[in-house]
Amino acid sequence: MQTTNKSGLNVEQRKRLSIGVELVAKPEALIFLDEPTSGLDSQTAWAIVSLLKKLANHGLAILCTIHQPSGIIFQQFDRLLLLAKGGRTVYFGDIGENATALTGYFERHDAFQCRPEENPAEWMLHVIGAAPGAHTDRDWVETWKASSEFHGVQKELDSLAQSRHVTSEADTQDTSYAASVSQQFLACTQRVAQQYWRTPTYIYSKLSLCFITVRQPLALHKHLLTYLRVSSSASLSKTPHYPSRVSRTNSSRSSCSS
């Protein structure tokens, strides 16, 4: 699994690197992952989600979108924000041990029971009518807005907004980039130079292109000379011709008026 083949890193290693690239930037607020398990097989998906769990246990806030998680992967997450079509909240809260907090909420609102062998992630989509072939008569968005869980969330948000603990805003400058333009320029130039050094075939092809087209500049040179000759003669002839042309138009106008 951990071996590298000649064509480079495998999918899991690449995904780990993507996460690593974000981690080394030391994000203070949170890490957001867009479907980290999509395109991975179940074994690899499990490895990545366990890694995320490990990072969360290290004290990092992780926000992650996920599609069709298996039951075992779904268990790794602490809280769930379930959105219906149009981005409307259906549930926001703890998943709980064996997803009991989640299933409990839906079952209290007359959803059919989630059997122990069922995957709660699939079950909840069935309940809200989002699974293929599923149908629901209940408006789960309205149900959420009327629930005690929703009011609990609102209360918590209000208390968060009131606390407004001012973070170290003074020492962190409010700029988009951490590095200065010169630092960025240096780092990028170095990286590009290294990239060219490591792909000599690119340099070779560029060089050979130069040799092949070496006659091209000569032809261009000839063209340029002719062009210059023509344009210079035109500009020379322009000056003496100009007054005569003006006088000609004047005369034609006067002839018109007469």
Which positions lie near other proteins, rule CB under 8 A? Answer: 2-4, 6-9, 11, 13-36, 38-39, 51, 54-55, 58, 85-88, 160-167, 169, 172-180, 183-184, 187, 191, 194-195, 198-199
Least distance in angstroms from the C-beta of 147 to other proteins: 19
Q: In terms of CB distance, is 194 or 205 closer to other proteins?
A: 194
Least distance in angstroms from the C-beta of 199 to other proteins: 6
Q: In terms of CB distance, is 8 or 132 closer to other proteins?
A: 8
Q: In terms of CB distance, is 28 or 110 closer to other proteins?
A: 28
Report whether 120 contacts 71 (CB < 8 A): yes
Report whether 46 contacts 72 (CB < 8 A): yes
Q: In terms of CB distance, is 19 or 99 closer to other proteins?
A: 19
Burial class from Cβ neighbours inside 10 Å (0-12, 13-18, 19+) for residue 129 reads middle
Least distance in angstroms from the C-beta of 179 to other proteins: 5
- Name the residue among 57, 103, 104 with its Cα closest to residue 76: 57
Least distance in angstroms from the C-beta of 11 to other proteins: 8
Least distance in angstroms from the C-beta of 68 to other proteins: 14
Q: In terms of CB distance, is 22 or 110 closer to other proteins?
A: 22
Q: In terms of CB distance, is 55 or 153 closer to other proteins?
A: 55
User: What's at 19, amino acid-wise?
Assistant: I
How far, in whole angstroms, is CA 138 from its chain's centroid?
Answer: 35
Least distance in angstroms from the C-beta of 162 to other proteins: 7
Q: How far apart are the first and last CA of the chain?
A: 99
- Strand partners of residue 62: 31
Q: What does 138-203 look like in DSSP terms, one character per residue?
A: S-HHHHHHHSHHHHHHHHHHHHHHHH----STTTS---S-SS-HHHHHHHHHHHHHHHHHH-HHHH
Burial class from Cβ neighbours inside 10 Å (0-12, 13-18, 19+) for residue 206 reads exposed
